[in-house]
Structure formats: structure tokens, C-alpha cells
Structure 1
Amino acid sequence: MTTGIEQREFQTETRQILDLMIHSVYSNKDTFLRELVSNASDALDKLKLEAYRDKDLEADTSDLHIELDVDADTRTLTVRDNGIGMSRDEVIDLIGTLAKSGTAELRRKLREAKDAVASEELIGQFGIGFYSTFMVADKVTLLTRKAGEKHGTRWESSGDATYTIETVDDAPQGTSVTLHLKPEDVEDHLYDYASERKLREIVKRYSDFIAYPVRMQVERPAPETDDTSAEDQDAEPKTVVETETLNSMKALWARPRSEVTDDEYNEFYKHVSHSWDDPLEVIPMKAEGTFEYQALLFIPSHAPFDLFSREHRAGIHLYVKRVFIKDDCEELMPEYLRFVKGVVDAQDLSLNVSREILQQDRQIRAIRRRLTKKVLTTIKDMLSSEDEASRDKYRTVWSQFGRVLKEGLLSDFDNRDTLLEISSFPSTHSEDEQTTLAQYVERMKDGQEQIYYLTGESRQQLEASPHMEAFRARGLEVLLLTDPVDEMWVTSVPEFDGKPLQSIAKGEVDLDTDEEKKDAEAKREEQDKQFADVLGWLTSTLEDQVKQVRLSTRLTDSPACIVGDEFGMTPSLERMYRASGQEVPHFKRILELNPTHPLVEGLRAAHAERGDDPALAETAELLYGTALLAEGGELEDPAHFAKMLANRLARTI
């Protein structure tokens, strides 16, 4: 069965990315072959697993391998595997279109990349390795047949706006990708991909650890024999064709660390993560005893573009006795460590494991606990190290993955103390350096019992907040928490090192020392009497907006601020829940007034003289609105507020 050739157009996003790749200059084009070999290895893994699951699958798994076929005369290079293969629909979805999210961001970053190396790293980071073939080829032909299916698919493109696809009946099981190489640059012999020597070098460098043989047929001089005639001696030297395996196939995780080079670790990381950058940290593990496993984990040096995307996939590959079971094994690592990449090779699990069995398996849960503790301990060691290079690694980890790690404070109660120890936050102590909670506690002033914090959208907004005034005046350090996840974890973490966490925008704040309290008590009683009437009137006037109006001890310059109950929900958290589709009630908060501010004192005097004057009610609304804006809040009716303010300003001219 062979159908007619169908011509299709690439997605707009795919065309733009292909154009960027074809017309850009890259410093190291060799990595296209690593991507193809890595894809072939994945296809072999998947076939092996499917054969375990489906005993009736009509597929030959007796000699799984990857083959390189090069023709120097026609300048073609074919990378062939006998793995799982693809159906026609899968070819269209995976090759004909760029179905991943984030393509617009990729195009922007590719254009902004300062050099070729940066561009290459972005290609790997965004998971479009197949398209790198167009860096070296004028035309790419893909022939594939999915295991168990009768017909295959041929796909072909020259990297322009279109590709062709047809159904064929003469395709072997697996996938072959044939590159019609660009003309050789005689001035640049580094990129002669029709050269046996070059291909051998690339495979050895990038794919030596692949678990399947990477084979290539090579010509060798025929061995000489004793009965060679004189006529034969004058003829052209005879050659024989031999099949050679180019890679060692050694499982990197099974070798002692002392026997593995940094380059080997780096290339293995790129293989399992499909990244083009080197890892920040390598974590080898070996467990013996009741059950045995080996693991090789990597902490990346950069966060992937889809770290916070729903489509983001976990990064741990599960093997059992060197047999691939599944990639992206979510059961082996908690969600907040989803950036960690690597492999786990267990000895005692069933080869025919399903997702449900993995979730329930006691050994899997135990491995997960140990992997989690090892990763967190590694990060903690970076932080506590006296070596500046290690501390720089910690800073990189936190800058790239801090937001994700803080998610663990909400879900991982067993490791919460360690997570708190490795967490860093901006604070008023320094504009440049973040602080750990332990460092904050060391700097606490005598008599200070709480760790103070304030949440919001930006450091600039928080530093300008009226809530900060009394703390700034007394030189008290405040953590400035601006990540969305901060709004959630602070409500579930009661304390650190015996010190309660206290929002300076919630509850009542009492910063006076024992001596100051004696002097201030009488003054406050007098103020309460003086302001009792206006406070009651304001509470009634603003009853739709606030639950109470009271005098403040946290203000020094501003006339008013809005605070929540000690255990109430912040407006930002309310908005987050509503944005996610959850219905939450609106929580009224408290308006606090600065009794020493001229505006507040004037309002008290005016109310004592004029009572329920409508103009004073307008002043009350303006006072509340400005307090809401000062903390970065949103007015319910901005147009009404602007009209009141304009009218008031007009009367002052």
C-alpha cells in the first residue's frame, strides 16, 4: 500500500524557528547527531518496555541497535534504529508541527541571544532537537513504521514552508532519518559529516554511554595472505567492509565516580535531560541492604522554560536491572523537585510495573524519600560550605529554582525544616544579598521575638508600604516576600527556630519595650478617648469596605493603612484563589489611623464640630482609597474615586 504524496504546510511557529536555525551560525553543529542518537535510544527503550507490556506485540527485539549509514559520494547520512517507530499521526504531531508551548518565548530568546553558543543552549532547552538537523542538511527524509503496524510513513522537507508525507508499505520497523548534507566547506574540515572519522569522534564524545550499540559499516584493508600472486600485488589494495560498534555502552550510574570524567557526566546529563548546557551539580547514589538501587541525579544550571507549565514533565528515568521502565517518573521525586534530572536503576522491582503499582510500591516510596533527602542535603551543603564556589552554586540553585523549592513548604512536612534552612529571601537588611532565616535570627534585636515579613508584588511596592514605617524607624529587619507562593506557605509555617513568623500587615503590632509601654499607656488611653467618636463614625461610614477603624502604632508618616486579622486571608491570596477558579468570600479588613497625622487630627476635629457632614464622608472614602492604593491594592470603583479626588482638588484651587 502506497498512497499519493500529500504536501502540508508547517505551523507558523515551526517555520519561524526553522528559518532562525537555517540562517543562523552555530559554533558547534556536531550536536545534531547527539540529538538523533538520543531520540533513537529513546525509541529503543520504548519498544523494549512495550514488548514487556504486550506479549502479543509483533516486534523484533532480539537485536536492538542504532546504525549510522554514510555515503560520501552522495553526501547522505542516515541514522537508523529498530525501535518503537511512529504512526502517521505521530509523525505529523511530533515532526510536522511544533506542538510544544513556549515557542514565542523561544523565538524571542533566539533573536536576543548574544552568541552562537547561547542559541544552541536555547534549542536544547526548548526541546526541538530534531530541527537541528537543518543546520547541516539541505533536505531531511524520515522513514518510519510503528511496531505492530503494517504500513509505514515517509516524511520529507527541505526546511522551507512545507513538508511532504505519504503512507508506504516497504518501511522496516523503527525510524530512519536521512540527511542530505550541505556541500562541504573546504575551508572548514571540522564539519565534514560524511567522514567516518568525524562521525566516530562525535559518537564517542556525546553518546558513548548509550545503552544500545551504535554501529557503522567501515572499510578496512583486507588481510594479506601468503599466496598473494605478483599480479594481485600490482592491483588496487583490497578492502573488506566491517561493522563496528562505536560506543562502549557502559551504564554511567554503575561506575564509581572516580572512574567517570566530568565530560562524561556532562554528556550523560544532556542525554537524559535533552539540554545543551552542563549540569550545576552531579549526585551519584548507591543503596545496599533490604533493597538495592543506584541513582545518578543532576541539578541543572538553568531553569527550563516550562518549569511552571502544566505540560512540564518530571526528569527521572526509571530502570530495573538496566531495563528501561519509564521516563519522567513522577513517583520518584516530589513535585517541588521536578527540575532534578537523572536515572534510578532498581534491582528488585517487577519489570511489568504500571503507574498504579509504582504509586503503591513500598520500595518506590522509600527510594523517593532517600532521593529527596539527598538532593536537599546537597543544596544545604552548598549553602553551609566555606568554599565560595559552592556558595555560588547555592545562589544559582536558589535564583533558578527557589520558587519551586518553596512549594515544598506547603506539601513536604517531613522535610520542612530542611527546606526552611535552605530558603533565602530578600529583606530590608540588604538590597543585593538575600538572607536565610538563620541569618535573620542571628541579627534579631534584643527583645525581638518574631520574624517579621511583608508580602506583595514587588520589593519597591513593599518598601514604600505604610506598614514599614514603624519597623524602619526602629531599625527592625523585615523579610520582603514577593513570589506568589510566599502568600501561601507563610500561612502554614508557624515558626522557625522557635521564632514565630509575623506579618506586619496583620493583627496588632506592639513594638514598644517594657519601659516604653509604661510611658505610652497613658497617652494611648487619652488618644482612645479623644478619637472614640470619630472612630465609631468612620466604622459606620465605611462599613461596606472595612470591619473596624482603630488607631495605629505602626505608622509614623502616613495617615492610614489597612491591615488584616492575624489569621485572615490577604487580598493577594484572595485574587490568586479566584484566578484559579475557586470561590472565596471577601474578607473585610481593618483601617488603622495615625493619630499624630494632621489629616487624621483634622478629621477628628471636623467631625466633632460638624457631625455627619457629607463632605466628611467623602473625606473618609478618600482616606480609605489612598490607604488601599498605598499598599498596592485595587479600588473597587476607580472611576468613582477619581471623580471624588478631582472634585476635592477643584475646591482647593
Structure 2
Amino acid sequence: MRGIISKYSDHITVPIMMIKHSEDAKDIEYEAVNKANAFWAQDKNDLKQEDYDEFYKSMTYDFEPPLMQLHNRVEGNLNYTSLLYIPSKASFDMWEPKHKGGIKLYAKRVLIMENNEELMPLYLRFVKGVIDTADLSLNVSREILQGSKVVDTIRKASVSRILKALEKMAKNKPEDYAKFWQEFGMVIKEGAVEDVANKDKISKLLRFTTNKSENAIQTATLECYVKSMQKDQKAIYYITAETYESAKSSPHLEVFNKKGIEVLLLSDRVDEWMVSNFGEFDGIPFKSIAKGDLEDLDSKEEKENKEKVAKDFEKVIKDMQKILDKQVKSIKVSSRLSESPSCLIADENEMGGNMERIMKSLGQDIPDTKPILEINPKHPLVEKLKIKVDEDLVNVLFDQAILSEGGQLKDPAEFVKRMNKLIK
């Protein structure tokens, strides 16, 4: 009984008295079993950071102090007090499907629901705290909360307050924001797609690495990317891969590195889903450098030269197509490559190789599509094909393209045999 009272009524202003345990049955004494005060109801000007930290630890059982807290009291058409915390570390179960929210809902200081999912969107599931309102009845049910205008208003205001605080942190305390992004960056990326109403605010909070970054730490913003775009650049270029290292060394980047064009390197598992649904930023569309043509990058002279080279390789490509007919949709002369002999790309509206691998790992069925093989006409291995279209060499070029984008070979042993033949 004492535990139930302490859990649900610890913060109401009226003390709840129970008989104090005593060996002498004749001597009856009463004691208060609730604290009879609510920490969040106190004036924030009377509270120190140490007080906030201690309350956070007692509420969440977290040993680390929070990164920041937001303490607000709203009065008017709707009356409520909110005390929200952003943890300094992500919880171990943040990616669990059954992860529960961290907001406790109180009505007139009486706890009516724990881990409430209606008060905070899924992408802010790491936020902990309490919300106390006098505009909900004590017997409110979860079903009623789902259609409650009170809850909806509190939710919108709380989300807006959190996003503004994060934007302020990013601007005034970049070191703290870097810590926050390292822990919660991937879930914030979910919000860029899920929360359409706040998409612009969230997009300014996003951080990435690029081909111009010195390491894998995500610090580049979309605003900075747009400011550094080249004069005739028409898209925000990106590449997705399983790891930062794979993205950084991708052959698809070669022409961009050569021309000094910045490319977002996306290696978080959520990135593929996010960028495919994100659409555009500041009116500029996103474009995968591993899909479709890159004719926008070519000058008039480069286009004319590419057409000339393509004609020279027509017979080579025709013979290669016969060998790889079951594996590729088509073969083209590449304008992407400057060092590597070959690479694989997908059509503009088809699923890329990285997304296919993610879907397969999740046990999802994927459409049966073939990639496009691009070859570098200036590479020595490709130049050899003009003398003789060797079947082993053609297959090696295809297998190398698979490996370079992080794929797996169906028959690694056969690849080794072909390599050994070519080395002899």
C-alpha cells in the first residue's frame, strides 16, 4: 500500500497519513507516507542545477547527469507544467521495438500514466520528464488520451520547445551538441521524415560527414553544404554505404573528388530511408551519385568526348553484354570513374545496392532488378578489352564493381580462380 501511494500520490500537496508500525498495539501513531510536494511545481529561479540533476537521477535511475533540462509553466487557456530532460547518454533499449516513452503524465500532481507515448513523437523517445496538467481528469484512459485536444496541444508545444532548445544548443554550445548528436543523431534523422510539420526545423539540426571531412565525426550541416555548392550545381549529392570507410573509398566519388564537389557520406542505417523520403532542402533536390546519369557534371567538351569514346567501345560493350547478359541490365562508358576500372549503378528510380542489402538483412522481399555496369575507358584493364574481350577479365571487372560498393560475391572461389589466371 505504501509503495502504491508513494508511486501515484507522492507529489500531491495534502499529506497522506498511515498508521506507523509499532510493537505496542495500544500506542497508535500516524506518519506521512508521501512527500506532499512536487519538484516541478517549484519556481525554477529557486532551484539550482544540482537540484535538477538529483531529481533526474531519482526519476530515471540514471547515474549520469542530464545534458540539459527544460522547465516551463504555461497558464492561459491550458494550464500545465513541464519538466523535460535530455539525457547525456542513450539508453540501452532505445532501438528496441517495445521501447517505452520516458514521459510521466500527472493530473493535479497525481500520476495517471507512465511512459506515455502520446505526449512525445517516436523520434524524441529519448526525452525524459514529467508533465502535470489540471485540464485532465484523474480517471483518463489511454484511449481518451489518443483523441485529446489537451494532449495534442501539450505535445505540439513540447516538441517545438525541445527543437528550439536543440537549435540554440547547436549554435551556442557546439561541443554539447556534438555529444548530443553522437548519442541521438540517428533518431533525430527519423524525425526529418516522420514529423512533416517540423521538417524545416529538424533539417537544420542534422549533421553529416562529407568527402571533404577529415574523419567520420558528423559535423557538416545542410546549410553549410548549400553555401559551398558550386555555381552550376543543381543537386545535393550523396552516397550511402554500410560504413564511413566504404563510402569514403567508393569509386563513385572519383569524379566528384576530381572536380572538388562536396558529397554527403551516409552510413547510418536510417540514412537510406531518410534521404529517399526527404525530397529536398531549401528547394534543392537530393541526388544519389550511384544512380542514373551525371550529365549535369559534364561540360560540352566532356560530353562530346564521351560520345566519341562510347562509339569506339561499341563493339567491346556489345561483346561484354553477351557475357554478362544475366547479371547486368546494360554496360556504359563511365564519366564517374578516373581511377577504378568499373562500378555498378542503378537506374534513377530503382533501389540502390546498399538499400537492397539492408532489405535482405531484414528478411524483406525485393524486386528482381539488374544493375548497370559502367567502365572506365582510360583504365589499363579496360583498354585491354579493345584488343580482346576476355571472358575472365569481363567477369573480374563485374566482380570488382560488386566488391567496391560493399556487396558480396555469389562465388568468391571462382573470382579467385579468374584473378589467378589474369596474374599469370
Residue deviations 1:502-543, cap 9 Å, x none? Answer: 111111113546xx31x2233222212111122233233212
Q: Distance in 2 between matches of 1:588 and 1:43?
A: 62
Mark the runs of 5 or more structure 1 residues left unpaired by the alignment.
1-39, 50-61, 70-239, 608-615
* Distance verdict in 2 for CA 1:333–1:481, change over 3 Å: same
The counterpart of 2:137, out of the listed 329, 336, 350, is 350
Q: Distance in 2 between matches of 1:431 and 1:66?
A: 67
* Partner residue of 1:620 out of 377, 390, 394: 394
Residue 344 of structure 2: aligned partner: 562
1:546-565 CA distance string (max 9 Å, x none): 11111111110111111112
| Cα distance per residue 1:19-78 (max 9 Å; x no partner) | xxxxxxxxxxxxxxxxxxxxx9874366669xxxxxxxxxxxx94679899xxxxxxxxx
Choose between structure 1 and 2: higher strand proportion.
Answer: 1
Offset at 1:597? 1.3
Q: 1:395 aligns with which of 170, 178, 182?
A: 178
The letter of the residue matching 1:567 is N
**Equivalent residue, structure 1, for 2:122:** 335
The correspondence of residues 344-423 of structure 1 with structure 2, limited to 5 A, is: 344-385=131-172, 390-423=173-206
Following superposition, the deviation at residue 246 of structure 1 comes to: 10
Deviations 1:417-455 (A, max 9, x none): 111110001112221452111111122222222211111
The sequence identity of aligned pairs, in percent, is 39
Identify which of 92, 106, 111 aligns with 1:319: 106
Does the CA contact (< 8 Å) of 2:2 and 2:33 recur in 1? no
Counterpart of 1:491 in 2: which secondary structure? helix
Alpha-carbon RMSD across the aligned residues, in angstroms, is 2.7
Alignment of 1:497-536 (within 5 A): 497-510=282-295, 512=297, 516-517=299-300, 519-536=301-318
Between 276-285 and 580-589, the greater mean CA deviation after superposition: 580-589
Is residue 546 from structure 1 mapped to residue 331 from structure 2 by the alignment? no
**Structure 1 contact 44–65 (Cα < 8 Å) conserved:** no
The 3-state SS of whatever aligns with 1:557 is: coil
Equivalent residue, structure 1, for 2:39: 252
Cα distance between partner residues in 2 of 1:479 and 1:67: 66
2:153 counterpart letter in structure 1: A
Which of the residues 367, 373, 379 maps onto 1:597? 379
Offset of residue 592 of structure 1:
0.6
Contact preservation (8 Å) 1:466, 1:558 = yes
The correspondence of residues 147-158 of structure 1 with structure 2, limited to 5 A, is none
Q: How does 1:180-195 map to 2 (within 5 A)?
A: none
- Shift of residue 320, structure 1, vs aligned partner: 0.7
Distance in 2 between residues matched to 1:576 and 1:362, nearest whole Å = 39
2:417 aligned partner = 643
Deviation at 1:286? 2.4
Q: Is the 8 A contact 2:16 2:32 kept in 1?
A: no
Q: Is the Cα contact below 8 Å between 2:101 and 2:117 reproduced in 1?
A: yes
Code of the residue aligned with 1:337 in structure 2: it is L
The answer to whether the Cα contact below 8 Å between 1:45 and 1:324 also exists between their aligned partners in 2 is no
Is the Cα contact below 8 Å between 2:20 and 2:31 reproduced in 1? no
Instruction: State which structure, 1 or 2, has the greater radius of gyration over its C-alpha atoms.
Output: 1
Cα shift readout 1:142-172 (whole Å, capped 9, x = no counterpart): xxxxxxxxxxxxxxxxxxxxxxxxxxxxxxx
Higher mean C-alpha displacement, 287-296 vs 487-496: 287-296
TM-score, normalising length: structure 1 = 0.60
The answer as to whether partners of 2:402 and 2:409 remain within 8 angstroms in 1 is yes
Letter in 2 for 1:560: S
Query: Aligned partners of 1:66 and 1:304: how far apart in 2?
Result: 40
Q: Secondary structure at the match of 1:324?
A: strand
Residues 308, 493 of structure 1: alpha-carbon distance in 2 compared, 3 angstrom cutoff:
same
How far apart, in 1, do the equivalents of 2:124 and 2:106 lie?
A: 19
The Cα of 1:285 is off from its aligned counterpart by 2.2
SS where residue 234 of structure 2 aligns?
Answer: coil
After superposition, the Cα gap between the structure-2 partners of 1:68 and 1:623, relative to the gap in structure 1 and judged at 3 Å, is farther
TM-score, normalising length: structure 2: 0.90
Secondary structure of 2:220's counterpart equals strand
Q: Equivalent of 1:285, from 72, 87, 94?
A: 72
Deviation sequence 1:452-472 (CA, Å, 0-9, x none):
111112222112111111111
Aligned equivalent of 1:580, options 353, 362, 381: 362
**For the residues of structure 1 that align with 2:129 and 2:169, how far apart are their CA atoms?**
20
Q: What stretches of structure 2 of length at least 5 have no aligned partner?
A: none
Structure-1 separation of matches of 2:21 and 2:357: 56
Instruction: Determine the C-alpha separation between the residues in 1 that align with 2:359 and 2:3.
Output: 40
Distance of 1:66 and 1:311 partners within structure 2? 40
The counterpart of 1:606, out of the listed 376, 388, 399, is 388
- Measure the CA separation in 1 of the matches of 2:392 and 2:50: 71
CA distance in 2, matches of 1:401, 1:41: 37
Asked whether the 8 Å contact 2:16–2:34 carries over to 1, the reply is: no
Whether the 8 Å CA contact 2:255–2:337 is kept in 1: the answer is yes
Aligned residue type for 2:291: K
- Amino acid across the alignment from 1:384: K
- Aligned-partner Cα distance in 2 for 1:541–1:412: 48
| Correspondence 1:491 to 2:273 | no
- Taking a change above 3 Å as real, the CA distance of residues 66 and 360 of structure 1, as seen in their structure-2 partners, is farther
What's the offset of the Cα at 1:473? 1.0
> What's the CA shift string for 1:283-306, capped at 9, x where partnerless?
012223332221100001111112
Q: Displacement, 1:282? A: 0.8
Write the letter of the residue equivalent to 2:184. F
